[in-house]
């Protein structure tokens, strides 16, 4: 794990804008069996590109590793880099997914953002991906087809 530069390094600075290059990986030690890893990220915030007002979301990232895995402290810093960056809800979710696909080349990944309301309405984008040439390509389509049949109860309080 000599390629990990962030974990255990106290002097690392937080990035000041969107910064995908801060993401780091380590090797999957269990390549013999497919398995899931989920990150629960309730501390996501970005800015509205039109009004500049802050947006807040909980983001759930779930993936099946291939050879590389994302290191969690670098993921924290990457998500932090949206803090003063302006993007729409749907774009944030798709961008996060694409950056992690590019980084890890995972077998499968999904990203679900659950934002707080503006004007009485909240928006929850969900995107997923399965690697071509694996059975996860079809699984991704199936998971999308069965996405969120039971929307959680929302009352804005």
**8 A C-beta contact, residue 78 and residue 104:** no
Instruction: Confirm or deny that 71 is annotated as ligand binding.
Output: yes
83 binds, among a copy of itself, Ca ion, none (CB under 5 to 8 A by kind): a copy of itself
Residue tagged active-site, from 41, 55, 92, 99: 55
Active site residue 55: yes
What is the dihedral angle through the alpha carbons of 69, 84, 88, 126, rounded to the nearest 10 degrees? Answer: 30
Report the residue number, 21 or 90, with the smaller CB distance to a copy of itself. Answer: 90
C-alpha to C-alpha distances, 107 to 52, 112, 131, 154, nearest whole angstrom: 36, 17, 5, 33
Instruction: Confirm or deny that 30 is annotated as ligand binding.
Output: no
Instruction: Confirm or deny that 72 is annotated as ligand binding.
Output: yes
**8 A C-beta contact, residue 94 and residue 127:** yes
By rule CB under 8 A, what string of x and - marks binding of each residue 32-71 to a copy of itself? -xxxxxxxxxxx-x----xxxxx-x-x-x-x-x----x--
In this structure, what DSSP letter does residue 22 have?
G
**8 A C-beta contact, residue 63 and residue 35:** no
Q: Could you tell me the smallest distance in angstroms from the CB atom of residue 77 to a copy of itself?
A: 9
Which residues here bind Ca ion, judged by CB under 5 A?
A: 155-157
CA 34/CA 28 separation, integer angstroms: 10
Report residue 66 as tokens: 């291939």
By rule CB under 8 A, what string of x and - marks binding of each residue 80-99 to a copy of itself? x--xx-----xx-xx-----
Instruction: Confirm or deny that 89 is annotated as ligand binding.
Output: yes
Q: Could you tell me the smallest distance in angstroms from the CB atom of residue 72 to a copy of itself?
A: 6
Question: Should residue 14 be labelled a site residue for a copy of itself when binding is judged by CB under 8 A?
Answer: yes
List the catalytic residues. Answer: 48, 55
């Amino acid at each position: 794990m000599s390629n990990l530069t962030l974990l255990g390094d106290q002097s690392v600075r937080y990035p000041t804008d969107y910064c995908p290059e801060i993401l780091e990986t380590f090797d999957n030690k269990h390549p013999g069996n497919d398995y899931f890893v989920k990150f629960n990220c309730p501390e996501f915030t970005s800015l509205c590109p039109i009004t500049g007002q802050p947006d807040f979301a909980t983001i759930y990232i779930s993936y099946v590793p291939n050879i590389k895995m994302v290191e969690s402290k670098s993921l924290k810093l990457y998500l932090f880099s949206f803090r003063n960056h302006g993007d729409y809800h749907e774009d944030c979710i798709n961008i996060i997914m694409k950056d992690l696909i590019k980084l890890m080349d995972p077998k499968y990944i999904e990203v679900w953002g659950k934002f707080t309301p503006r004007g009485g309405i909240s928006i929850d984008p969900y995107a997923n991906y399965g690697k071509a040439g694996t059975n996860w390509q079809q699984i991704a389509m199936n998971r999308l087809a069965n996405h969120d049949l039971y929307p959680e109860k929302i009352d804005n309080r």
